Amino acid sequence: MATLNFLTGNAGKLAEAQTLLSPLGWEIQSFEIDGEIPDVIEPQSDNLTNVALAKIAQGVELLASQNRLEESLLVEDSGLFIDALPEFPGVYSAQVLQSIGCDGILRLLDAERSAHFLTVAVLWTGEVVEVFIGRCDGQIAMESRGDGGFGYDPIFIPLAGDDDRTFAEMTHEEKSACSHRGRALRALYDYLNENGA
Ligand code: IMP
């Protein structure tokens, strides 16, 4: 089974990548150095791709410093974009979740509740960098629902779902089948297959 290092401190993201890619023959492991997930600096940017590219550049430097440059490495950056609040929380999704939480978002909204998630996944193949983007359209629920998932999952209802369950009310498999991360990682998987990785 081929191995892909995933540089993330987010256990939810790691679990979703494992759920999606393990059955397809990829072992997804947390990228660690001496048993620790290395810290990377997230630059201030109004663009998820720029943030993800800055992270992969640091990750590749770390691989080089460990003489592991031939290994593959994945980073990703995601954000929630709410139509009624242009570009918000967007690239500030992590800070906004920490400060006002899902309940704070619910308090800001009236009838207009459409939103989407974006994921920018960036892969170092051992030779080149490739970018994969996934989007999931949906709406913000009227109240938080569900215990699964992480982050904004309890307040996001994907349009592609068969019902009005939030991501947090779905299994990993159900979320991945329609989520932004699922779409980006399936594109990544197709690339790996086509390129004989
Ligand atoms: P990050 O910068 O990509 O780690 O994510 C930004 C923020 O969005 C973090 O607070 C995450 O918890 C949240 N987030 C990222 N992906 C998801 C998701 O799939 N569902 C819900 N929240 C997410």
Do 165 and 177 contact (CB within 8 A), yes or no? Answer: no
Q: Quote the pTM value.
A: 0.94
How many domains is the chain partitioned into structurally? 1
Please choose from 93, 97, 175 the residue to mutate so as to test ligand 1's pocket, defined by most ligand atoms within 8 A of CB.
93
Ligand 1 geometric centre to CA of 43 (Å): 16
- Condensed to tens digits (0 to 9), the pLDDT of residues 28-52 reads 999 999 999 999 998 888 899 999 9
Q: 117: part of which helix (H) or strand (E)?
A: strand 114-124
Say whether 83 is catalytic: no
| CATH number of the structural domain spanning residue 152 | 3.90.950.10
Asked if pLDDT for residue 1 goes beyond 80, the answer is no
For residue 16 and ligand 1, the question of a CB distance below 6 A is answered with no
Rounded to whole angstroms, how far apart are CA atoms 3 and 28?
6
Averaged pLDDT of the chain? 94
φ/ψ of residue 66, rounded to 5: -100, 10
